């Protein structure tokens, strides 16, 4: 059987193959994942600090907070400090989260109110609220709160005061991970013309097709067709489309491996750093082979020798359940879904032996996770979550 071309565009409406090609310029961009955040300076204007914020200002508490939550006071006539109900959409939609925040200065408020202007340093969590953080909401002030900095088990907010306004928060920023360059399909079968509305799929050498999802869609028009250096009967096709969420340069070796058939043995991810382990889990999810859950009563063995970080746990449990390169979730949501409800490869209620668990106990400890920008998930957290989801876990 001839080896299939590597990439396939599937018609967005019918799912039929629109075209096949050997490679795609514009899919992998010349950037390394992750992108380091740009730290900014913010000023809480006319602030009434309380709790940990007041302690940071007067020196009786640490200057660093972790994450800082900001919600707009959108109801006229109500004190800024008076919160709405827990399900208020306006509060949610005007909210902002600042990450890895510390207090760096304070002084009497410039408006003569007798309050304080407080300087913070941190960076904004990327989200869509307030037009992506570019436009200040129409509010009379802001309520302030913090997440616990190091306890991932208890994410209760602590109010820390309010302020009249915030300087330095709402402005245009460069995109953290912009769309890719214009797409050129290299070494294609001829025939694609006109408008293209397609979903991209990755094809293994054995012919298995893996759809890549909405972030890798190709929507545009053909603007040029020419001979291809890849083969005499193939063409290169240029489109005015861009991949909305292109892959990073350091993902290409992983995708090359899955193209060839996938990992050939366990723990090939162990030599990677944490960022690349995250990309490993993402590639495993993209190349998941769907099959019924294995029968109840099976015992799974998690090799814990290399579980030195949160993403390593998902590399290891994916292989414990589904073999080398297997996927069993990449975050707590999918861990719960797969363990508690099935469809991840193992019938719920399964037994799992976690070998060399002391490695994870030593490394997955309380602290602030500078990858997720949240309190770290600990070994004890994972053990508890698995137990709550019905996993019969044995630690060795």
pTM for the whole structure: 0.92
pLDDT at 92: 80
Buried/exposed code over 70-82 (b: 16+ C-beta within 10 A; e: otherwise): bbbbbeeeeebee
Which tokens go with 202? Answer: 């990755």
pLDDT of residue 155: 61
Query: Are 386 and 340 spatial neighbours (Cβ–Cβ below 8 Å)?
Result: no
State residue 152's pLDDT score: 52
Q: Would you write out the chain's pLDDT as a tens digit for each of its 396 residues?
A: 689 999 999 999 999 999 999 999 999 998 888 888 899 999 999 999 999 999 999 999 999 988 999 999 887 777 887 778 777 888 888 899 999 999 999 999 999 999 999 999 999 999 999 999 999 999 999 999 998 766 555 567 899 999 999 999 999 998 888 888 999 999 999 999 999 999 999 999 999 999 998 899 999 999 999 999 998 899 999 999 999 999 999 999 999 999 999 999 999 999 999 999 999 999 999 999 999 999 999 999 999 999 999 999 999 999 999 999 999 999 999 999 999 999 999 999 999 999 999 999 999 999 999 999 988 999 999 999 999 999 999 999
Structure tokens at 280: 């490993």
Q: Report yes or no: 174 and 133 within 8 Å, Cβ to Cβ.
A: no
360-363: long-range contacts, CB 8 A cutoff, minimum separation 24: 360/304, 360/307, 360/308, 360/313, 363/307, 363/308, 363/309
Residue 385: both structure tokens together: 């979550």
Helix 310-322, helix 274-286: angle, nearest 10: 40
* Measured distance CA(166)–CA(198) in Å, rounded: 43
Q: What is d(CA 303, CA 305) in angstroms, rounded to the nearest whole number?
A: 6
CA dist., res. 231 & res. 233, Å (int): 6
Closest Cα to residue 5, out of 195, 18, 97?
18
> Which one, of 4, 175, 11, 147, lies nearest residue 69 by Cα?
147
Give the separation between CA 355 and CA 301, rounded to whole angstroms.
7
Report pLDDT for 80.
81
DSSP 259: H
For residues 120 and 103, is the Cβ–Cβ distance under 8 A?
yes
Helical axes 252-259 vs 274-286, angle rounded to 10°: 40
Name the helix (H) or strand (E) containing 133: helix 129-133
The pLDDT value recorded for residue 10 is: 97
Helix (H, G, I), strand (E, B) or coil at 282: helix
Structure token pair of residue 122: 């941190």
* pLDDT at residue 1 in the model: 65
Strand bridging mode 351-355 / 392-395: parallel
158 close to 146: Cβ distance less than 8 angstroms: yes
Nearest alpha carbon to residue 266 among 381, 355, 358, 340: 355
């Amino acid at each position: 059987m001839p080896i299939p071309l590597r990439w396939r565009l599937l018609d967005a409406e019918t799912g039929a193959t629109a075209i096949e090609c050997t490679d795609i310029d514009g899919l992998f961009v010349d950037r390394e994942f992750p992108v380091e955040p740009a730290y900014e300076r913010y000023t809480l204007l006319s602030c009434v600090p309380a709790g940990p914020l007041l302690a940071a200002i007067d020196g009786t508490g640490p200057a660093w907070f972790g994450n800082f939550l900001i919600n707009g006071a959108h109801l006229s006539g109500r004190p800024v400090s008076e919160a709405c109900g827990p399900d208020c959409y306006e509060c949610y939609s005007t909210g902002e989260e600042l990450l890895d925040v510390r207090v760096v200065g304070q002084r009497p408020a410039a408006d003569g109110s007798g309050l304080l202007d407080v300087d913070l340093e941190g960076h904004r969590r990327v989200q869509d609220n307030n037009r992506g953080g570019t436009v200040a909401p129409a509010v009379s002030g802001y309520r302030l709160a913090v997440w616990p900095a190091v306890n991932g088990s208890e994410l209760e907010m602590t109010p820390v005061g309010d302020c009249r306004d915030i300087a330095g928060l709402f402005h245009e920023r460069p995109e953290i991970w912009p769309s890719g360059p214009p797409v050129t399909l290299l070494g294609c079968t001829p025939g694609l013309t006109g408008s293209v509305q397609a979903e991209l799929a990755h094809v293994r050498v054995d012919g298995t097709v893996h759809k890549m999802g909405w972030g890798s869609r190709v929507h545009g028009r053909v603007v040029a067709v020419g001979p291809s250096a890849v083969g005499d009967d193939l063409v290169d096709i240029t489109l005015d489309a861009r991949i909305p969420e292109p892959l990073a340069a350091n993902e290409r070796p992983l995708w090359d491996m899955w193209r060839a058939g996938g990992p050939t043995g366990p723990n090939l991810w162990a030599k990677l750093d944490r960022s690349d382990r995250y990309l490993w889990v993402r590639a495993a999810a993209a190349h998941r082979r769907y099959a019924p859950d294995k029968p109840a009563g099976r015992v799974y063995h998690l090799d814990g020798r290399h579980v030195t970080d949160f993403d390593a746990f998902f590399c290891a449990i994916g292989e414990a359940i589904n073999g080398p390169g297997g996927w069993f979730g990449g975050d707590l949501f999918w861990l719960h879904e797969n363990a508690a409800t099935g469809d991840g490869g193992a019938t719920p209620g399964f037994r799992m032996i976690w070998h060399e668990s002391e490695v994870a106990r030593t490394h997955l400890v309380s602290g602030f996770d500078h990858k997720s920008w949240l309190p770290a998930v600990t070994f004890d957290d994972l053990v508890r979550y698995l137990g709550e989801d019905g996993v019969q876990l044995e630690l060795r």
